[in-house]
Every structure is written in structure tokens, then in C-alpha cells.
Structure 1
Amino acid sequence: MAKQKIEQINYATVAKPHTPMYLMHKYWARKPHNVVSEYIENYTKGGDIVLDPFCGSGPTPIEAIKLGRKGIGVDLNPISTFVTRMTAVPIDINQIKNAFEEIKANCKNEINDLYKTKCKKCGKDASIICTHWDNSTPTKIYYYCFSCNKKLDKKPDDEDLKLVKKVEKMGVPYWYPTQRLAYNGEDFKEGTHDPNIDSVDKLFTKRNLVSLTIIFNAISKVKEEKIKQIFLFAFTSMSHLASKMTPVRPTRPMSSFWAMHRYWIPPIFMESNVWHLFDSAVYGTQGIVEGKTDSNNQIKYYKEAKKFEDLNDGANIFLKTHHALELTQIIPKDSVDYVFTDPPYGGAVQYFELSTLWASWLKLDLNY
């Protein structure tokens, strides 16, 4: 029987913006989903097995199953397979909303007490949105006044500084990671290069570290494992935004981002209200409610394989934390129809180092 003739893609495919499912969690060098999809659709047929041995945030296996193929995503980084799984796995939106209300009841007021201030105009209660710090000194507060019904800013007053000092003396109420920013005794190549900030916990102000532990503890009490995992996903998606690695931007003084592919602490950084960040990670435009609504609609069938052979028994996606040089340990020879991959950028992006922040909260071992 003659082989099927395949038309080659000999033109540039224009990348489209990521859909909500791919916006839930940061990852580095994420491939455009529509480009991946076009190649898979062109070079494979329904039921074919598609492999990405450096799957990153997972667009290859995810786009494969969207197209009725079987997807295999392999990566040595456990954060990669975690992000891929949480992006694709179907989750009931009402369960997310109900669990969020329970977490909110256990956390919101306790956390917001740490971000109280007074309005400079009316003198009434207000809630801090973010505080700008110049090294170890808070210099400016942006807040929302409930009485004035507007966002305002001010220089920290005596009461604000007293609150900061009070929090500094507090004990951290729950578990938090203290993992060093080092591997095998050597400091990270892209670490802070500051001996005073040499572990994950020191990336945060005391107020934000306390707040993060309150949320993390509440998530740990969620009974349904799948729901717990999606909230841990939401938690890690915003954890870097709660750190000191968020430079102040003059044009957008109330929002920031992880600015560099390293653990860089800018001299003037932003301390954001952690509850606001978590609420946005759930209900914001890049939150899990929007993202999972999108993935639930796009992925019509999802059954994860525990081993390769399960792909022949109804499963359509196999995700494995594994070394790309040892694929035959988990995938039989001559069993894959198509490989679409984008290997790591040499030493340009230190994936494992950068994943340490998230992995430490998830208690994952980055054994690379």
C-alpha cells in the first residue's frame, strides 16, 4: 500500500495569543499553541502518538489530545509535568468556586489585617494594595479607601510603620520552605548573589511570607485531591508576584512581574497584598476559573496513562518526569508516530534553578 503523501509546511505560521488555559501559570519559552497544533494536524492523523521529550508547559501533548491524537509529555523538571497536567486535566468549575469560598473564609480577614491602613483624605479604614520598598524601607503605599471608593497613595505614616515592625516581630504561623538557592552546595548561577538572601523564604517580606503560609495551610486542608492540586497550581502561579523580585514600574505602580530569568531583587521593589494576588489567581483574567473553563471546553476527552501501555487501553495522554536520554525506559522503540519538540536553550534559561521557588512550596525534589 502506497504511503500517504504529506504536504510539507513551507511557510511561516503566525503565532496567536495564548488562550486562557495557557495563561494560568508562568513558564519560560512557552511555544505558541496554534503553531504546535498546525504541525501536529498536518503531519499526523487521528489516534497517532505524538511525543515531546522536552515538554515544558505542555502545549505539544495538550494540542495533540485536542486534535484526537495521543500525547506524551516528558520532562526532567517535575514543575513541567505539574503545569502540563493542571492545564489539561478537567475540573468542575463549581467545585473550584466552592473550595475557594472555604479557603476565603479561613484566610481573607486574617491576611487583610496585615494590610490595614488609614485613608489620608478621610481618615477611615483602607486596604493596602501594594507597598513600594527602597531596600529595607517602605516608601510609598497604594491603597483602596472604602469610604472614598477610590485608589489613592500616600507616604507611610507612623501607624503604617508600626504595623510593619509588629509583623517583623511575628512568628510565621505555618510551614514554609527554607530551601537554599543552591545545588550540591554551589550557589545558583542565576541566584540573588546576595549572602543575606540565600534561601526561598528570604525572597519575601515578612508580611508576605506570613500571608503565603496562611493560604498554603488552608489549601492543604482541601479534601478533594484534584481540587487541592489546582489550588496549589493557583498558589504557585502567584507566589513569585508576592516576592521581592517585582520591580516598581513608574507607568504601572500597582502591578509588577518577575522581571528577569534569575532571582534578582531590585533595589526598589513592590510588596503586593497577597490575598489580592491569590484572588486574582483564581478569579482574574489569567486565573484558574477562566483557564479551566477554557480547557474544559477545548479538551473533550482526557484520560491520563500511568504507563505507556495504557495508551492502548483508552488513555490519551501520558505525562512523565523523566530524562530525555532514557526514553526507552518508559516508551517502547518504534512506537511514536511524530515528535514535536523545542529543546532547552542551553544555558540561557536556568529552568531548574528558576523552578526552585515553585518546587519548594510543592515539596518537589528537583533532582537534576
Structure 2
Amino acid sequence: MEKRKLTKEDLDKVRDIEGFPIGSDEDIIALSDAPYYTAYPNPFIKEFIEENGTPYDEETDDYHCEPYAADVSEGKNDAIYNAHTYHTKVPYKAIMRYILHYTKPKDLVFDGFCGTGMTGVAANMCAHPESQFQAVLNAEDPDIEWGARIPILQDLSPIATCIAHNYNADIDIQKFTSEAERILSESYKECKWMYATEPDPSAAASTLIRQKGKINYTVWSDVFVCPHCGSEVVFYDAAADPTTGKVSDSFACPKCNAQLKKKECNNSFESFYDSALKQPHQIVKQKPVLINYQYGSKRYFKRPDAEDIATIKKIEEMDIPYWYPTLRMREGRESRRNDKIGLTHVHHYFYKRTLYALSKLYDLIQKSECKDLLQIWFTSQIINISKMNRFRPQVSFPYNPLSGTLYVSSMVSEANPFNAYEGKIRKFTEALSNNKGNTYCISTASTTKLDVQENSIDYIFTDPPFGANLNYAELSFLWESWLKVVTNSKYEAIVNPTMGKALPEYQTLMTSCFQECYRILKPNRWMTVEFHNSKNAVWNAIQEALQRAGFIIADVRTLDKQSGSFKQVNNTSAVKQDLVISAYKPKNDLTRTLHESAGQSETAWAFVRQHLANLPVIVDADHDGKIDIISERQAYLLFDRMVAYHIMNGIPVPIDATDFYKGLDEKFLKRDDMYFLPDQVNEYDTARIKMDVEPIQFELFVSNEKSAIAWLYQQLDTPQTYAELQPKFMQEVKSVDRYENMPELSVMLDENFIQDDKGRWYIPDRTKEGDVAKLREKNLWKEFESYMNSKGKLKLFRSEAIRVGFSRLWKDKNYQAIVDMAERLPEQTIQEDDKLLMYYDISLSRVQ
């Protein structure tokens, strides 16, 4: 495809597409590089796919691939990963593993939440991988086919797609380096005096310093008002120990000597005339308290002297002769969090000296032939040199903003921007030195509506937003304000009360996105969803959105980024590793069978056959020579998946648990409590003989009835008496779910297992298990009926009884009863149980 010159008419053709960004046509066109990248919904994607893709034909398609069933660990210490400070990224080497597993060279790879384009980088790097990494992967899989895959990327955020474009575009790295150095040098000549300081007299005397030093950073401290005497308290002077760097939780008022804490004090404010807004403005009062400067290679500290204060005052009174953004911070809890301290507009997030330097750099960048990459270099340090850069006395690293927020500390380090950007030149040069001959297509739009052909994509890897973890549009606003094109957040898939988006709205948006992914993906192909969230409700929402879209989940693994975020480290309930979901789009013949044979048991077995065919046969994730138990091959999960698939497709579940378990034994081969197709079981048996080990067992966290029964199934591989089981069971029972009325061990044994004449409990024979299952279900249904006959909110109940009740009500098409009962349960019970959530959501849609 040849380069295209865009016009306003080109934008008019796609202006109504969901996610069209906010900005003038001129600025949107200026940011774009058509046809490969547009800062608006890309109208050239279909043409790109027709030129580079391969049409799908089910008659001749012979694609088969098991899910990538190894846990991945890739660190963040990589030049490309660290070049820009964008909120979240998946290491591209981790993504390469998935792309190489699922695709062949020249296959089309799609990412609908592309962020900084790591999926694109991974796809293109398959053509020229780092030699050491290539050797590692070849050792893991000698059959890898190296060669570039073709990425198609999309994101709602203009800053994200702009970064992705530059990470994947052909780069003249020498020209970029030369231009960046020139612009930095020219800007520094104009601003050098702003970052000069007289050496401290004691340092000058000891080192014979005769010239001014260069300021590395200036520490600014909030000024508080003592609630007792009303005098001002400079926080740094009162609370920080200049020798140890420790900041005390409590401190004394220098006037009345009262012991104070930050939360007890109000900020002092000062008023000034904001020339950019042409109106008076009030902002939190701060004072410069410490300067770090250098002379030659040596660094020194000093208190600001009269000349430093005079320089700062001079800068404050100057008019900046270059453009800079003055937008009001967008609506949102995060982006308006600093209104209370007077940071209401973009330019308030920078000290005047920093703002001058930035505007000068930006002015020169706009006149450069390398403008595209220089703009990303420019945005890469904006957060680090803003007022969000915390001063942390005991931390030597110069840039310490709190990731994932717009938090402004009571002590701010005003970093020298020229130091910051000088270091980034090297990082960008290293990161992008291999960008040659890449093919890609990038669009800025919502994934809720894709302008992509049906059944055209070979593989999808995506890293969607994590519910309420990060408000991307708010966090990106400072960057995007400099680009003059900002995110249209109407279709942003997040949980954000300010925008009126709770968990149901998030799930609805994610379902729409996954439905589009399902539509464009070729049948029998895979989508990998990388996901991090510490809340079960959000995790369940993602799983249900996938299933509603039509995907079948085949495997869930972990991705260890080898570094914890702020929330991960400090929140004990946070998930320490990201989850990776492997899901596939079933073949068309399964969909046909489902609809043509609706209500017949064959639909259940057709599903199981396809699902087993798409599951891994042998997994040794830890590479320790021990075969892992594949939970997806166990009876209970096969039943769950079968039921969910029928319900999500609006088709009756044709078989109950009892007959399903009997049918598994009759129709499939069983090994180690797992089920296999005939052509799979030989491979498993051979691996067992070679490894000569027993499969490893799950470590179960017993917190409710379902996990307790699973634990008992593990234990009772060897028959045991109640007396033998009870002490072990008590050791395993952790904190029971708040609303869970978990039955006694004796009750669970009676309902699920059989006792021999020696009093030992054992797992029922499959031929008899049907009777046990029927008896158990009968008892649980009676329990559920008692709940239905009661009134008011249920405060204590058996969740297994609720599941059995919902299942029977669904079979009877009594959707209203499901909705009524669900509304009597605690909200978290529904949101945190994927089966109950599935029954409730579908029933609710049918009674409204």
C-alpha cells in the first residue's frame, strides 16, 4: 500500500465510528501517517487485509494447535519496554512466545487494546529476534517457524496508537538521534540560565569551584497552616531529617511547638494572575527547599539562596513565547483529584521553568522532519518532570511518580528536563535500532465496532483494561493534550463511577469487544487474553464476556512480569501475577450441530469432542519432569464448559450431570481423572511411561463447599475413615467465604461418597456415581426450595444449593425465579461466582 495524503473528506467517512477521537481535523491529520497509521478509525484496514491476508475456507483448512500451556516469565528490563512511561505494557518477548506458537510467518495478528503496540513489536521481531532469546526458544521448541507476522493494532487512545506507530514504523535511527541532540542543544542554550546556580560557599571553597553549577533538581515543599496557632509550616523543614533523609509521621510547629500530622493540617494557598487563562487563580503554596546540582561529574546539595529565589521569581514573571496546552483537566475522579490544590488545568502540572523548556522543545520538534518519533520521545518524560515526580530522600532514582495515578506529593522534585531527555535519546536509539521493513496497520477507535472482515484474522493477542484498576483516558490526558488529540472515553471499557460505568457497564462493553474479536477471527483459531485484576467479580465478568461472545476457554495460565506495581506490592489481596486466558472460536460445524440438533444429547458430545481436541495432552509447565493435571480435562470442568456453551448460545442443556458423567466414561478414555480422545490417549500413556512419575496434584485452597469436595476427591484416592480425614480437613480449611453456609465434613461425605464395611469413605464407582449424584442433587434442591419459601435477603446459605436450584429453574425456563432469587443474594455472591452470574445475566435479559 502506498502513502496517502489525508483530507477532511477522509475523516468525514468514518466520523461516526465508535471511538472517533476529540481534536481538530487538522491536528488528527497531522498526527496520522496513512495508510499504516491513522489517529482516527483507519479506513484502509480492509484494503490492508485483502492485500496481506489469506481467505478462510473450512473445507480446506487444516489448522490445528493446542493452547500454549506453559507459564511465561519475562522481565521488564528491556529497551523497548522501558523507552516510554506508558501505564501498562506486556513485555514483547512474552507475546512473541504466543505468536510463534499459534501462527506461521505472514499470518495476521490482531490486538484490539494494543496500548503501546507490544503485540506489533512482537509480531515484527519474529523476523529478527535477539540471538540469545532465539536460542532459548529454539531449545524449548525446535519446530518454531521464524519470520515476521503482520500485526493489525487498534486502541481508543491517540497517545497509545501514536506510540505503537513509532515502535513499529521504519526508523532512520541516525537521523532521529541527530535531530534529538540538535533540538536538545538548541533548547538548552535558551534555557541554560534557568538551571544554573551558584555553588554552596563551603563546596566552592573545598573544590575551588569558580563557575556556576548545573541544577539537577529542585525540591519543593508544601506549606501547611498550623491548626493551633495559624502560622505557616514548611513541611520539609519540619518533618524531614536532612542527614538521614527520613520523613517523620509527626512534626512540631516551629512557632507554637504543637505536635502535628499532615492530615491534621490544611494547605496554605497563594493567588496569582494566570496569564494563560487570563484570570486570577489560586494554587497550593510551595517553597523551594533544596537544590541538587553538579559541577563536572560531582554532585552537591545546597539550600536555595537569594539568587536562586530571584531566578525563580524572574521566570514566574516571564511570558512563554511558545505554545503549550492549557486545557481543563477532563472529568474524572483521577484527573480531577488535584483540583483541591489548584491543579485544574494541564499547565498547572508543571513549574514555570519546566513549562518553558517543554514548550521550546515542542516548538522545535514541530518543525523537524523527524516529528513523529520526536513527539513520542517528548511525551516519554512528561510525567517524570511534572509535579507528580515525588521527592523521596532515601531513593536515588531521579524520577518517582506514583504509577497509575495523578498523585502529587507534599514534596516534589522538579527535575531538569534536559537531563531527562538526554538519557532518553540513548534508550530510544537502542530500542528502535532494528525497525526496518516492518509491515503493520494501526487504527484509533473503539474495539466495540471493528471495520474488519469476518473470519479474516489468524490470531488475537490482547491485554484489555482491568476494570477499575486504571482510568486510561484520565491518565493519558497530560500526554494527549500536547498531541492536541485526546481520547473519546464514551466507549472506554472501565469501571468509573464518574462516567456512570459500574461492573455491568464494563462487562457489556467487554462483551461487545469480544463479540467483534469473535467475528473477525477465523474458526478454530485462538485468542489469548492477558488480564490482571485482584477482584473476582471483574475476573468473572471477563470470563462471561468471552463466553457470551462465543469463545470457549481452554486454559488459564500466569504471566509473571517479574515486578510488582504499587498496588500489587501494598495490597495483600492483589493478584501477584497476570492471568493468561487461552480461548478458541469453535468450528462452524459445531455451531451447525448445536442449532440443528438442539435439545438432543449429541450437542453435548459434539462440544466435548471439539473441546478435548483443542486441549493440551501433556503439560509440564514447571519443566520438572512431572505431568500437570489438566483441569479442563476433568469431568466437572467439562460439564461446566458444556453447560455454559449451551446457555450462552440460547440452546437447551440436553443432559444432566448424572448422565453426562456416565457418558464421559462410555464415550471417552480416562487417565488420572482426565478424559482423552482415542488419538490423544496414546501420547499421554507414552509420556507417563517415559517420565515414570505420577502426575502432580493440585494444591487446593479450601474456602467453600465446592473446593472442599474437590479436596476430598483428591484425598479419597486412598479410602480413609472420618477420623483420618477430619484433622487433615481442619488444617486445609482456610477463611470460609462470608456468606457460605458450608456443611459439616460428615454431610459432604454422606452426599458425595460411599462408605465401605470398615467405615472408610471412598470415591463411588462411576457406575454407581449417578445414583450418588441424583441423591445429592435431590437434597440440595430441597435446601434451595427452603430458600425460595423464605422471605427477605439470604444471609447464610449453601452456594452449591443455589447452583443446583438455578440449574433446575433454567431447565424449567423459570427465568423470573432465577432473577428473583439472585436479587435476594448478596451482590458479591453473584458477581464472584461465574456460574451464578451466567444464569442471572442471561435470565435477566429474557425477563426484561
> By the TM > 0.5 criterion, same fold?
yes
Whether 2:68 is the aligned partner of 1:9: answer yes
Residue 462 of structure 2 aligns to a residue whose secondary structure is: coil
1:124 to 201, 211, 217: 211
Aligned-residue offset at 1:216: 1.0
Determine which of 214, 223, 227 is the counterpart of 2:360. 214
Are the counterparts in 1 of residues 87 and 403 from structure 2 also a CA contact under 8 Å? no
1:19 matched to 2:165? The reply is no
Q: Distance in 1 between matches of 2:108 and 2:468?
A: 30
Aligned-pair Cα RMSD in Å: 1.8
The 2-side partners of 1:340 and 1:104 are apart by 38
Q: 2:428 aligns with which of 288, 310, 318?
A: 288
Percentage identity across aligned positions?
Answer: 30
CA drift of 1:2 comes to 7.5
Structure with higher RCO (Cα < 8 A, 6+ apart): 1
Per-residue CA deviation, residues 134-156 of structure 1 (Å, 9 max, x unaligned), is: 0210000000124xx41111111
Structure 2 residue runs of 5 or longer lacking an equivalent are: 1-59, 127-147, 205-209, 223-285, 490-848
- 1:5 deviates by 3.6
- Give the conservation status (yes or no) of the 8 Å contact 1:192–1:262: no
Correspondence 1:57 to 2:116:
yes
| 2:437 paired with 1:301 | yes
Listed as ranges, the matches of 1:164-203 within 5 Å are 164-183=312-331, 188=334, 191-194=337-340, 196-203=342-349
Name the CA distance, whole Å, in 2 between partners of 1:188 and 1:172: 28
2:475 aligned with 1:354: yes
**Equivalent in the alignment of 1:256:** 399
Counterparts of residues 136-155 of structure 1 (less than 5 Å): 136-146=286-296, 149-155=297-303
Task: Give the aligned residue type for 1:256.
Answer: Y
| The 10-residue stretch of structure 1 (93-102 or 31-40) with the greater mean CA deviation from structure 2 | 93-102
Mapped partners of 2:113, 2:167: distance in 1: 17
Letter in 1 for 2:346: V
The answer as to 2:188 corresponding to 1:108 is yes
Q: What is the letter of the counterpart of residue 460 of structure 2?
A: V
**Letter in structure 2 aligned against 1:145:** Y
> Matched residue of 1:266: which SS?
coil
Q: What whole-Å deviation, never above 9, does each CA across 1:294-328 have from its counterpart, x for those lacking one?
A: x43xxx521xxxxxxxxxxxxx311000110101x
- Contact persistence 1:51–1:71 (CA under 8 A): yes
What is the alpha-carbon distance in structure 2 between the residues aligned to residue 253 and residue 170 of structure 1? Answer: 32
> Within the alignment, does 1:337 sit opposite 2:470 as a pair?
no
Whole-angstrom distance in 1 between the partners of 2:328 and 2:333: 8
CA shift digits 1:39-74 (9 cap, x unpaired) = 111111112111111111111122123222111111
Q: Which moved more, 1:330-339 or 1:15-24?
A: 15-24
Show the 5 A alignment for 1:19-38: 19-38=78-97
> Deviation at 1:189?
5.4
Helix, strand or coil at the partner of 2:479:
helix
1:91 match: 171
How far residue 124 of structure 1 moved from its aligned partner, in angstroms, is 3.0
Unaligned runs of 5+ in 1: 303-315
Task: Measure, in 1, the Cα distance between the counterparts of 2:316 and 2:342.
Answer: 16
Aligned length: 339
Cα pair distance change 1:176/1:75, threshold 3 Å? same
SS at match of 1:64: helix
- Check conservation: 2:334, 2:471, Cα contact below 8 A: no
Contact 1:245 1:265 in 2 (8 A): yes
Q: Compared with structure 1, are the counterparts of its residues 334 and 217 closer, same or farther at alpha carbon in structure 2 (3 Å cutoff)?
A: same
Aligned partners of 1:252, 1:78: CA distance in 2, in Å? 33
Q: CA deviation at 1:210?
A: 1.1
Note closer, same or farther for the CA distance 1:190–1:12 as it changes in structure 2 (3 Å cut): farther
Contact 2:329-2:346 at 8 Å conserved across structures: yes
Cα distance in structure 1, aligned partners of 2:77 and 2:196: 36
1:133-188 Cα shifts (integer Å, max 9, x gaps)? 10210000000124xx41111111111111111111111121110111123xx665
Q: 1:305 aligns to what?
A: none
Structure 1's 164 and 210: CA in aligned 2 closer, same or farther, altered over 3 A? same
CA separation in 1, counterparts of 2:354 and 2:459? Answer: 45
Q: Is the 8 Å Cα contact of residues 365 and 371 (structure 2) preserved in structure 1?
A: yes
1:124 and 1:2 mapped to 2: Cα distance? 74
How far does residue 190 in structure 1 lie from its aligned partner after superposition? 5.9
The structure with the largest alpha-carbon Rg is: 2
The 2-side partners of 1:131 and 1:9 are apart by 50
Amino acid at match of 2:338: T
TM-score by length of 1: 0.87
Mapped to 2, the partners of 1:338 and 1:98 lie a distance apart of 38
Which secondary structure does the structure 1 equivalent of 2:109 belong to? strand
* CA distance in 1: counterparts of 2:338 and 2:467, whole angstroms: 21
- Shift, 1:83, TM fit: 0.9
Does the aligned pair in 2 maintain the 1:246–1:265 contact within 8 Å? Answer: yes
Contact 2:168 2:440 survives alignment (8 Å):
no
8 Å Cα contact 1:112-1:275 kept in structure 2: no
Change (3 A) 1:257 1:331: same
Partner SS for 1:31:
coil
Cα pair 1:142 1:153 within 8 Å, conserved: yes
Give the structure 2 partner of residue 312 of structure 1: none
Query: Is residue 445 of structure 2 the alignment partner of residue 322 of structure 1?
Result: yes
Please state whether the residue corresponding to 1:35 is helix, strand or coil: helix
Report the alpha carbon displacement of residue 213 of structure 1 after superposing the two structures with TM.
0.9
